[in-house]
Structure 1
Amino acid sequence: MKKLSVVHNTTISYLGQAYTLLVGILIMPFYLGHLGAEVYGLIGFYAVLQAWLTLLDAGMSPSLVREIAHHQGSARQLRKSGWLLRSFELIFVPLALVCVLGVWLASPWIAGQWLNAQHLAPQTLAHCVALMGVMVALRLYATLYKSGLQGLELHAWLNAANVLIATLRYFGGLALVAWVSQDPIVFFQFQVAVALLETLIFAVKAWRMLPAPHWYSGFNQALIKPVLPFAASLSLSSVLWILLTQLDKVLLSSHLTLKDYGYFSLVALISTGIIMLINPLVQTLLPRMTALMAEGRDADMRRLYLDAHRFIATFIVPLSAVIALHGDALVFAWSGDRAAAHWVGPVLFWYALGSGILSLSGFQFYLQYAYGRVHLHLWYSLASAVVTVPVLVVAVQFHGALGAAIAWFALRLVSFAFWPAFIHRRLAPGLHRQWLHDVLRISLMSALGLAVTQPLVQAMAGDNRLQTFLALALCGLISLLLVAGSHRPSLQRVLLIFNRVSAQR
């Protein structure tokens, strides 16, 4: 199987991810206008529910990526990987049933006791929540099949399929609410149909690329057993990760009215979008880092890690800073809703900064993943959860969304101050000094960019949404140029090391 370089794979992944994010961003104001803030809050609640219920995956999907990346090559190895995929499929059957049945049984209570709707009927809410359970179950299988294809580094095909599904999901949903029906039940029924199609597309491709030895091949305990320790570590890490990143959203879904939670969902969408920007790189980086470690090429893996982090930070830090400082102007230019912009601005400030920090913090996990030593991340997450849970509960109870935002940012900042240094010195001595230099340089130049462009934004931003967008775009561009200009060889080194590593393979 011919492999593209990391640069090509990452470029392809970014194009697909950028399209998906852009479509979601463009469609959001229309959803908000056609469906209203309460239904949009219900869509935000689905995102939270999906995040929590994906814990049923129990670390199997990321473990599948790692196993396939380790054992690429012969047809015999592919069939072995295919049998592993078949075994995971069988394990997922009861998990998917538990998901559907559990959400269906809990839907009346969620609708009547948890969600604070003022206009939507409890029966409508319960029906929509029950449909969410079906969607999550389908996404569990879709993620499993995607993981198998990701392990094979079929990023071009994956992103083409993701673009197709995103087009149908967003533009199809917009056509539905604009011209057919604005009933939330009909909207979620349509999303279930799209989720089913998505699962079938990825399943067929995975079965073709990773065939089991026979069509009747069943559960293979011998293949599953060696994977279980790594999967168990990832599973517990996922539980703690979801707790750290989604607890505030769960608490606020009950604390806020569904309308205000719709506004908060805008904050969640933007802050999650910042974090998702690194996903295309991660999808190509993890299999390649794992393969380099399997070949004993530690030095190449470390250079790849450091240059990838520098590359991501060059974009993430200025972007997060611009969104944080000009969040209210951004949301108004985006949605045209002054009430939403006024509500979102102060909360988004802290969440945008925290999301930028969290994006960079993920690299320490990628390093542990490559070394197969995720137990360090497990202990870190466990200690963080012990602190995070009571802090967020108190913050939401007494200060609502703004309190949650400040607390979430503070927790991310404190952990970022010490954890990367510990991991680098433990796994890759000598790496931290250059890493820290990059972080400080990029942060300072981003702050300088914001200071230089502040008068420009104040002069241009106003009631004209297009002009406001232009002002924010210029602010981001100038900040980015200052960061890139402070270390001109940065991008060239990224391209050089990626291509050199790929050529050596």
Structure 2
Amino acid sequence: MEQSNLVKIISNYGSRLWSMVSVFVFIPLYIKFLGSENYGLIGFYALLLGIISFADSGMSSAVIKEFSQESKTNYKYTLFRNLEIIYIILCVLISGIIFFSAEFIVKHWISSQTISQRDLVYYVRLIGVGVTTQLISSLYFGALFALKNQVRSNLLQLGWSFSKSALVFVLFIIFSKSIELYFIWQIVCNVFYIYLLRFFVLRQLNLEVSTTPLKILFRKLPKHIAKYIGGMIFIAIISSINIQADKLVTSSMFDLGTFGFYNIASSLAQIPVILIAPLIAFAFPLFSKFSNPIPKENEHKNLVVFNKIFYLTNLIAIVFTVGIFFYSKEILLLWTKSAIPTSIFPAITFDVKILILGSFFLALQFPLYYLLLSKGKTKYTIFQGTIQVLVGIPLLYFCSKKFGLFGIPIPWLLINISAFVYLFIIVQKKYLDFANVHFYTRILFPPLIITLLFNFLVYFCYQKIQFAFIAFIAFSASISLISSVLYFNKQSKNNVFSFKHLYSFPHE
């Protein structure tokens, strides 16, 4: 089982690490091949995808939650087909809305110095098709993932991501360096990816029933799932607003070039979240499995899973957050080849620092948030998200007007700190008694203290030498990770050089 867990976690990281690598490798190439304003349109694609993600409405997480529990195969198939129909209808509607409102979006939202309004309208319509076909893939991915096909689903995602981000350059070389070609290729990759995911989902379900054909048992979603999705609709809308608000403001206040550079800062700051997502993808089915209070030992198993996932989340997130925070200027210069204008470079560097601190606190929310989801509890997140919008949006407007690019990321940091504290208190008081002395002295604070200490010392040395900053980052990260695990092992009375306990989880 330990090996199985390790294989699942590694496979989860495969596609995520590729996503992170592709961000570093391909963004400078996009700017080189297409120009900064066309890259701004790619950033707009990501922004629009984030905004319409509310359409998922918890359907993909509902599939993972239900498929992870002991349910009959025909029940899973029926649930899958019902959600599939709802998803397709929603995506067609959203694509239609974007298509017919493209002129309005271009006129009131997007500003370009080099791209004609007519071309912008056409590109927005292509983006509408691209983001909706990408969105629906999350349902099929979640279904295949929860059917204990984590390795296969991750390999498919990796191939899809590689095709979208890397193979498009082959088309640029063969045909033309065109943003139109980029968006058409995204659509082609999305459609092929959906076909493969759906094929493997249905094949796996057919294998489970073996000789008898799959049957649809009901045409209406069960009440508990409808209630869960209903709560998730509001959460998704609120989350979409909170996560994308800074980009919405930047894209409307500044030209596409400046928005593209801010999007670079945002992409860099998302690294802690990208690295934690595979852990949470692994943990959510376990949380769901052990969310049932019967048998009684499930509560203890949930506590074990939570503590390990939170420790790994904290350890990985803090190491990368601190490293990028200290060396943000050097990373940006290396990454963009000095493409960022000197007039806005200090602001973009500052934005990276503030955004990545906010992303760190967002990453720490994941174990808490998904534990609540596994129990079907959405009301706390709804309350949290509502307060964040009511406070965060006016604060964002004030900061952006008062401080320009320097002020835009500040609300992101503040709302994520407050959200982490709120979810921490709710989970501790109502659902899982985890915050004991052991938690604070072994899980929460030691990785933070150890990482800050080593990075301060190493960065001080770097300031004196000013040479090969990547080596200093790698050394700081390595020694912080190793020292934190050694300290944890010593405090937990494990073998000091043992690592198996980090990925050994209760049996599924």
1:298 — aligned with what? 299
Q: CA contact under 8 A between 1:314 and 1:442: conserved in structure 2?
A: yes
Cα deviations across residues 161-206 of structure 1 (Å, max 9, x unaligned)?
1111122111112222344311211211111111111111111111
Gaps of 5+ in 1: none
1:414 match: 418
Q: Could you say which residue in structure 1 is the equivalent of 2:463?
A: 458
Q: Give the TM-score, by structure 1 length.
A: 0.91
Cα separation, 2, equivalents of 1:262 and 1:52: 17
Matches within 5 A, 1:159-308: 159-211=154-206, 220-294=218-292, 296=295, 297-308=298-309
The answer as to whether partners of 2:77 and 2:215 remain within 8 angstroms in 1 is: no
Question: 2: CA distance between counterparts of 1:355 and 1:125?
Answer: 31
1:44 corresponds to which letter in structure 2?
G
Superposition map of 1:343-354 within 5 A: 343-354=347-358
Answering whether residue 388 of structure 2 is matched by residue 394 of structure 1, we say no
Match of 2:359 in 1: 355
| Count of residues in correspondence between the two structures | 494
Instruction: Say which is worse superposed, 139-148 or 399-408, in terms of deviation.
Output: 399-408
Contact 1:107–1:129 (CA under 8 A) maintained in structure 2 = yes
Per-residue deviation, 1:116: 1.4
2:275·2:316 contact (CA, 8 Å) conserved in 1? no
Q: Distance in 1 between matches of 2:252 and 2:215?
A: 46
Q: Contact 2:74/2:214 (CA < 8 Å) preserved in 1?
A: no
CA deviations on 1:411-453 (whole Å, 9 max, x unpaired) are 2223334541332122112535443433222222222122111
Distance apart, 1:112 and its partner CA: 2.6
Equivalent position of 1:93 in the other structure: 88
Matched with 2:504 is 499
CA spacing shift, 1:424–1:221, aligned 2, 3 Å: same
| Other-structure match for 1:117 | 112
With 335-344 and 113-122 compared, the bigger mean Cα shift is at 335-344
Question: 1:493–1:78: structure 2 CA closer, same or farther, 3 Å change rule?
Answer: farther
Alignment CA distance shift 1:86-1:415 (3 Å) = closer
Which structure 2 residue ranges, 5 or more long, are not aligned? none
- Aligned partner of 1:470 in structure 2 is 471
1:36 matches 2:9: no
Give the Å deviation of 1:20: 2.9
Query: Alpha-carbon deviation of 1:345?
Result: 1.0
Residue 48 of structure 1 contacts residue 249 of structure 1 at CA under 8 Å; is this kept in 2? Answer: yes
Q: Which amino acid counterpart does residue 316 of structure 2 have in structure 1?
A: F
User: SS at the partner of 1:149?
Assistant: helix
Instruction: Choose 170-179 or 236-245, whichever is displaced more.
Output: 170-179
CA offset digits 1:256-314 (Å, max 9, x no partner): 11101110111121122321211111111110121123353110111110111111211
**Structure 1 residues 120, 356: CA separation in 2 closer, same or farther (over 3 Å shift)?**
same
Tell me which moved more, 405-414 or 262-271. Answer: 405-414
Greater Cα offset, 360-369 or 217-226? 217-226
How far apart in 1 are the matches of 2:258 and 2:10? Answer: 37
Cross-structure match for 1:336:
337
Q: Is the 8 Å Cα contact of residues 86 and 217 (structure 1) preserved in structure 2?
A: no
Pair 1:311-2:315 in alignment: no
Larger helix percent: 1
Provide the alpha-carbon RMSD of the alignment: 2.5
Structure 1 residues 293, 415: closer, same or farther in 2, change over 3 A? closer
TM-score (norm 2): 0.90
Pair 455,499 (structure 1): closer, same or farther in 2 beyond 3 Å? closer
Shift of 1:492: 7.6
> Residue type matched to 2:164 in 1?
R
Contact persistence 2:74–2:215 (CA under 8 A):
no
Matching residue of 2:388: 384
Secondary structure of the 2:203 match is helix
SS in structure 1 of the partner of residue 112 of structure 2: coil
- Aligned to 2:445, which of 440, 443, 468? 440
Tell whether the 8 Å contact from 1:111 to 1:126 is kept in structure 2 after alignment: yes
- Say if 1:453 and 1:478, in contact at 8 Å, map to a contact too: no
| Residue 139 (structure 2) pairs with residue 139 (structure 1) | no
Shift in alpha-carbon separation, 1:88–1:494, aligned structure 2, 3 A: farther
Report if the CA contact (8 A) 1:275-1:356 is conserved.
yes
- Cα 1:419–1:96 change in 2 (3 A) is closer
1:218-276 Cα offsets, whole Å, 9 max, x none, are: 79334444310011112211112122211111111101111011101111211223212
1:67 matched to 2:62? The reply is no
**Equivalent position of 1:150 in the other structure:** 145
The alignment-based identity, stated in percent, is 17
Contact 1:255 1:400 (8 Å CA) reproduced: no
The range that moved more, 40-49 or 135-144, is 135-144
